[in-house]
Structures are given as structure tokens and as C-alpha cells.
Amino acid sequence: PSIFRSVRSAIAGNIPRRAYSVDSVPERKVAVLGAAGGIGQPLALLMKLNPLVSKLALYDIAGTPGVAADVSHINTRSEVAGYMGEDQLSQALEGSDVVIIPAGVPRKPGMTRDDLFNINAGIVKSLCAAIAKYCPNALVNVISNPVNSTVPIAAEVFKKAGTFDEKKLFGVTTLDVVRAKTFYAGKANVNVAEVNVPVVGGHAGITILPLFSQATPKANLSDEDIKALTKRTQDGGTEVVEAKAGKGSATLSMAYAGAIFADACLKGLNGVPDVVECSFVHSNVTELPFFSSKVRLGKNGVEEVLDLGHLSDYEIEGLATLIPELKSSIEKGIKFANQS
């Protein structure tokens, strides 16, 4: 994808002037909340390499001066500033076009994403209250887990503040797509750079539903292969958590996925046509108020939530099985946001 081109040319210190001249590319401020963390640091690096960004605000409760000083020496377009502690959050957020939230605790082996709820729900709630106050028009990319609940929490906070715009709130599920593409390419023996696989539903275990029947390029995989690929995609996060053996969850692949999704949001804002990514958004595609599916991004955020297309019998079954779990995670988030 084009992020590779942007990253490659930025690494070469060579932002192509015709394609990305400062004159023709609008100013865009991106804020990363949780920027000193395992995801936050490599994500800060990738956003610094993105020529669509003119200002990069790095916020965390600790550690951001060092990360910001480090990243700021890279000779690319954006101006970098670090912000630390709640009293600097307003400055970090003001004027932001896109806010990316990887703040919160990660899993250890044996935990589910829902086990993170007690800590991360409060973090997302307070950060979203600040977003509502200081940059209510920003596109918000929620990475903090459990995404199936933190996105509904964000929506409730914005509703209470009177700033909710369903077109501007996104749960980042791009890592599921990244994994599905990688695993499919390996099994189908096709060029990974050409692979597309939609992943729908939510972002936890069986709520992650890759639609391999719609994968391109087409390959003749057996039912067994599809089942194994589906399970590996659903368990991809756990695979990393176990391999890291207590030292956290996916950070580097997540930073890559987060950078791809933020880049898509920026392209949409800038009016680039046909920018489509899967994301967990406010949705009418199923009976659930939030659901991940392909989304067309535009100048106001979500331009169109695409429906699921033709599903195989196996995928229809997977969809029916995931609905109750996803429903209860959404309800848990809504209840939390409204109880205190």
C-alpha cells in the first residue's frame, strides 16, 4: 500500500515534492494518546514518516519528552511536540484532525481482552471527555482494548457532551486485516502485497470474522484450510501475547496497522477518492449498534458503511455465533459510560 511508498521516500529523506508538496497537501494535526507505550512509540515513528501529517502531538502520562525529542530529529515534514500529564492534554488535543488512542494496559498470557476493561474503560472515558472538550471535530481512532466495549464508551461520552458524530468514531481493527492478509498469502501461496481480505464483526476472539470467501486473489483452499486460517486470525493477538510471555501484546504490527488506518483517515479528509478500510463503527449492517465492516472514508470521516456482501455458509454461521458476545460487550461499555 501507499504507506510503504510514503515511508520509503521519507526514510530516504526524500519527500517527493510534486506528490506531497507542502503547498498542495493540507495541514493536518495528529495526536497520539499513550505515545510513550509499546504501540505509541513505533506509531509515533510511523506517523512522523507520513508526509500527510504537519503537526504530531505525542501525549502520555509519562515519558513523552524523550520520545518527542527523539522522533523530532527525523527530517520529515511534521513538527513534533511532546505533552505529559493531564494539564497538558488540552494543548496536545487542540486543533487535532485525527486522534489515535493506544493508551491503556495490554494483556498478559491467560487474560482475555475483556479482563482489561476495568482499567482501560476509565482511561478511554477520560480521554474522550477531553476530546469532546478540546477537539470535538477530530476523527477518533480507538486502539485501546477491549475495542468492542471502548468504542461504545467513547460514543456515550461524546453523546453526553453533545459532540457525538457517528462518522468520526472508529475502532481500529486493521490488525485483524493485516493478519488475515498475511496468513492467507502464506496458505494460498500468492503475493501478499496483492491480497485483500475483509474482516468484519468485532475485535476479540470469535467476534473477529475474516471473510476468506471474499479474499482476492482467489485460491482454491479446502474447508479445513479456511477453518484453520479463521482460527489463526481470531487467535492472532493471543499468539503474540503468549510469545511475549508476560511482556505485553502486539506492538509493532499494531503500530503498522494503526499507521495504515490513520493514513486512510487522513487521505479521506484530504478528499482522496475510494479509500476503503475495515473498521468498528456505528452501523446498521446488523442489528448491533456497532460493527466492523468495510467503510468508505471521506472528508467528514465515514462516508459509507458497506454491507457484508455474499457470505459462505461457514461465515453465516460465524456471524450468528458472534452476535450475542459482541452485543454483550457493547452493552457493557454503554452501561459503564452511563453509570458514573
Nearer to ligand LMR, 156 or 176 (CB): 176
Nearer to ligand NAD, 120 or 283 (CB): 120
Q: Quick count: other Cβ atoms within 10 Å of Cβ 216?
A: 11
**Residue 105: helix, strand or coil by DSSP?**
coil
- Using CB under 6 A, pick the residue from 128, 199, 240, 302 that binds ligand LMR: 240
- Using CB under 6 A, pick the residue from 250, 265, 278, 319 that binds ligand LMR: 250
Evaluate the CA torsion angle 48, 51, 57, 61 in order and state its sign.
negative
Asked whether the beta carbons of 215 and 202 are under 8 A apart, the reply is no
Ramachandran category for residue 204: left, alpha or beta (phi over 0 → left; psi -120 to 50 → alpha) = beta
d(CA 199, CA 177): 6
Cβ partners under 8 Å of residue 41, min gap 6: 35, 67, 255
Asked whether the beta carbons of 39 and 107 are under 8 A apart, the reply is no
Is residue 152 close enough to count as binding ligand NAD by CB under 6 A?
Answer: no
d(CA 34, CA 70): 16
Is residue 168 close enough to count as binding ligand LMR by CB under 6 A?
Answer: no
Near ligand NAD by CB under 6 A, which window of 11-19, 23-31, 76-84, 139-147? Answer: 139-147
How many residues sit close enough to ligand LMR to count as binding (CB under 6 A)?
Answer: 11
What's the number of CA atoms in the CB half-sphere (13 Å) around residue 6? Answer: 23
Tell the smallest beta-carbon distance from residue 203 to ligand LMR (Å): 6
Nearer to ligand NAD, 36 or 185 (CB): 36
Nearer to ligand LMR, 38 or 298 (CB): 38
Partner that binds at residue 185, options ligand LMR, ligand NAD, none, CB closer than 5 to 8 Å by kind: none
Tell the smallest beta-carbon distance from residue 252 to ligand LMR (Å): 11
118 is in an annotated binding site: no
Nearer to ligand LMR, 34 or 236 (CB): 236
237 is in an annotated binding site: no
DSSP state of 189: T
208 is in an annotated binding site: no
Q: Where are the beta strands (DSSP E) in the chain?
A: 29-33, 55-60, 79-84, 98-101, 139-142, 169-171, 199-201, 208-210, 275-282, 290-298, 301-305
For ligand NAD, the binding residues in 224-263 under the rule CB under 6 A are: 248-251, 254
Partner that binds at residue 241, options ligand NAD, ligand LMR, none, CB closer than 5 to 8 Å by kind: ligand LMR
Interface residue list for ligand LMR (CB under 6 A): 106-107, 113, 145, 175, 236-237, 240-241, 249-250
- Point out the residues that are catalytic: 203
